[in-house]
Structure 1
Amino acid sequence: MPHYSADFIKEMPKSDLHLHLDGSLRLESLIEMAKRSQLTLPSNTVAGLKELVFKESYNNLGEYLHCFQYTCGVLRNMENLEQASYELAIDNQQEGVNYIEVRFAPQLLIDLPAGITFDKVMHAVNNGLKRAQTEYNQQAVVISGDKPPFAYGIINCAMRMFGDKGFSPYYTNLFQLMRDFEPMQVIKLAAMELVRASVRLRDEEGVPIVALDLAGQESGYPAHNFKEVYEYAHQHFLLKTLHAGEAYGAESVFEAITECYADRIGHGYSMFMPEMIRDPNILDKQKYIKELASYIADKRIAIEVCLTSNLQTNPAITDIKQHKLRDMLENRIATVICTDNRLVSNTTVSREYQLAVDNFDIPLKRLKDIVAYGFKKSFFPGSYVEKREYAKQCLEYFDKVARKYGFIY
């Protein structure tokens, strides 16, 4: 295997297509924001929060998700939300990430009695990202064309499930308003309102909302419940990704593609685990997986791979080398290296790439392919022609950096 230095990985152009805003705050800023919002944290020091909440490893997915109650709490303040968005873009720029797609669930932050509407939430996020983009792209090295510019899109997450209290003021109020509806009807209604609002704000005010995601507990809340929501996105040229093949197996990925028109898959690693297939009608599980993988590869449906996050939330993966990235590469699937949550998983894009190249056989040409998928399979907020030109610019810069570090194709 070739050796890729940390300096080379940091300098090469990168993207992050699976990046949760509410899981990627700076710890110092979280403490500052909590004070501003008069919210109590388990500790007011970085060391204390790392010990009590944001750990190196977690016992289960529930403990991992526990972190988000604190980040979502402070982000229900529009000043905090804009700051977090701005700092997230800056943190990515400082490690050579040229393009990010920031995803979050706006309905976790909406608080109508407090005057926090969907539109205010989306504008706060966009304002922070846009400010960081403008500052970066005004640098001489970018204007001269020596380095590619920074760009971003926003992905809005619908929630697969939520309870009648505790998730957010918005969801609590919605359950109160619709108390005679079945819980799943309320959940689907919230998702439909989200996709409609996203299309409206994109079309009427130019906010670069590029896609819809489906997040939250996967097992027990199948993608087909949200078919109508994804049909609306599909019919209005809003692109589509789903968390699938994370806590549920190959059938989840199949549903995401066939029921929800998925353009990309978030995580996808359990797709290659036959023991997670539950449908009794699938008799030859290996054949089913092979055919599904071949279809995904042929259609260039990209998988957003989050190595550290998967290690932290899936007890079955005890060693990074067990990760199904190997199967994805062997099946020639379009794979994109992502962070998931920079704070909760204590990682960066550079660190995720280092994990990949240190533990899997990734020659330079394959590494460039992975980098390329990050730009070519992005939901870039412009025309296809503009996206191709941007991807070309970034990949020419990859070649330039590779030559600088002595790599020859």
Structure 2
Amino acid sequence: MTNNKWHHLKKVELHCHLDGSLSLEAIRQLAAMASIAIPSSDDALRRLVTVTKDSNNLIDYLKTFDFIRPLLQTKEALSLAAYDVVKQAAKENVIYIEVRFAPELSMDQTLSALETVDAVLDGLNRAMKDYDVIARLLVCGLKQSSKTLTEDIFKEVVRLSTKGLVGFDFAGNEADFPTSELKDIIKTTQDLGLPLTFHAGECHCPNNISYGIDLGIKRFGHVTALYQQPELIKAFIASDATAEMCLTSNLQTKAARNIAEFPYQLFYEAGLKMTINTDNRTVSNTNLTKEYALYHQYFNTTISDFYHFNQHAILASFTTNKEKAHLLKLLKENYEVYLS
């Protein structure tokens, strides 16, 4: 199948970071708004916002975000950025996307956490009026940040759940801030009433996944460290958790040191619930169409497989049951064309 046909398949994305997924066009607009000089050449600009080939780990990968941070310090900038990500997703037939971001990274100047989240929701809601995509928001806490700061942010913004905020997440430096040290803040977050997804297993650290399962978390980003962990894979499945897989970024962060270490085949054979995601469209220089093509190239993933993965994504999403039913119907109608 050609990339063009992968493009036409309807898709669902659960793991997409706002600040890592901005188009070059949007970055130029944001830089102009912030009066920040950037290279005139697209190639030069892309090098600044895309992970380098010599990246050795997650920390190296995260350094790429430093360039974007000053561009996202106003409500106008955050709204534009959110609109841009949904616009990109719509172009490759994404029907549902959960965009995530950490408010504290946009609070360097005058914005409050509530203002940052409200601005991103404004951009998502404007984009939904222009494109046939349902877009929802996840708010991230950073593992390396003050637990008090994260708790304050989450408590402040949870009131925006009526406007499109559907869940929380913990991201950032996993190697130095393991899940076991976050137990209290995780439980406090769960008590706020919105569902939680959680970054775990990007640093060859299966214990972070195991501890998250014990805490009742039902969605995990990456979980690459389940590689060669058959008992933990069984525990993951028994907990009815869903994996947000990010192939390209896992190879770039060396969460999987090579394609043989990427646990897709193990998950597939075990029957683990998988979803396919970009993680960061710009930082990883990818999109969902590229990811589908790579899965087919490396693992001979079929259209039927992609259909099931998207069903998993819809069922694991944090949207309403009514929207899930609508999305499942759209997905079925689209894939029947290719599976008949």
TM-score greater than 0.5 by the shorter chain:
yes
Distance 2:50 2:315 in 1: 33
Mapped contact 2:34–2:71 kept (Cα < 8 A): yes
State which of 370, 376, 379 in structure 1 corresponds to 2:309. 370
The question of whether the paired residues in 1 share the 8 Å contact of 2:155 and 2:192 is answered with no
Aligned 8 A contact 1:23 1:68 in 2: yes
In 1, distance between residues paired with 2:95 and 2:3? 17
With over 3 angstroms needed to count, the CA separation of the structure-2 counterparts of 1:300 and 1:315, relative to structure 1, is closer
Runs of 5+ consecutive residues of structure 2 not aligned to the other structure? none
Q: In 1, distance between residues paired with 2:55 and 2:110?
A: 37
How many Å apart are 1:44 and its aligned residue?
3.6
Matched residue, 2:7: 10
State the 1:390 CA deviation.
2.1
Q: Say which is worse superposed, 293-302 or 123-132, in terms of deviation.
A: 293-302
Q: What is the rounded CA distance, in whole Å, between the counterparts of 2:297 and 2:13 in structure 1?
A: 19
Give SS of 2:19's match. helix
For residues 232 and 401 of structure 1, do their structure 2 counterparts lie closer, same or farther at Cα, with a shift above 3 Å needed?
farther
Contiguous gaps of at least 5 residues in structure 1? 138-149, 163-186, 274-288
In the alignment, which residue of structure 1 is the partner of 2:43? Answer: 47
Displacement of 1:302 after TM fit? 0.7
Change (3 A) 1:222 1:315: closer
2:241 corresponds in structure 1 to: 301
Query: SS of the residue aligned with 1:47?
Result: helix
Answer whether contact 1:23 1:341 (CA < 8 A) is retained.
yes
Q: How does 1:74-153 map to 2 (within 5 A)?
A: 74-111=71-108, 114-137=109-132, 150-153=133-136
Tell which deviates more after alignment, 116-125 or 16-25: 116-125
Partner of residue 207, structure 1 = 163
Q: How does 1:52-71 map to 2 (within 5 A)?
A: 52-55=48-51, 57-60=53-56, 61-71=58-68
User: 1:363-390 CA deviation, whole Å, 9 max, x = no partner?
Assistant: 443322112112111111x2x3x14412
- Cα distance, 1:316 vs. partner? 5.5
Deviation, 1:230, is 2.2
**Matched letter for residue 63 of structure 1:** D
2: CA distance, partners of 1:316 / 1:152:
29
In structure 1, the partner of 2:251 is 311
**330-339 or 219-228, which moves further after superposition?**
219-228
TM-score (norm 1): 0.78
d(CA) in 2 for partners of 1:34, 1:122: 20
Q: Which residue of 1 aligns with 2:221?
A: 266
The residue that corresponds to 1:279 in the other structure is none
How many residues align? The count is: 339
RMSD value, Cα: 1.9
Structure 1 residue 249: deviation in Å?
2.0
Equivalent residues in 2 for 1:179-258 (5 A)? 187-202=146-161, 206-258=162-214
1:269-290 Cα shifts (integer Å, max 9, x gaps): 11224xxxxxxxxxxxxxxx32
CA distance in structure 2 between the aligned counterparts of 1:135 and 1:33, rounded to whole angstroms: 21
Q: Conserved in 2, the CA contact under 8 Å of 1:58 and 1:313?
A: no
Q: 1:213 is paired with a residue of what secondary structure?
A: strand
**How far apart in 2 are the matches of 1:154 and 1:191?**
17
Q: Is the 8 A contact 1:195 1:229 kept in 2?
A: no
Find out whether 1:161 has 2:144 as its counterpart: yes
The answer to whether residue 258 in structure 2 is matched with residue 329 in structure 1 is no
Contact 2:49-2:67 at 8 Å conserved across structures: no
Q: Secondary structure at the match of 1:22?
A: coil
Identity of aligned residues (%): 29
Distance 1:356 1:6, change over 3 A: same
> How big is the shift at 1:135?
1.7
Q: Residues 355 and 272 (structure 1 numbering): CA distance in 2 closer, same or farther, change over 3 Å?
A: same
Structure 1: which amino acid aligns with 2:297?
Answer: D
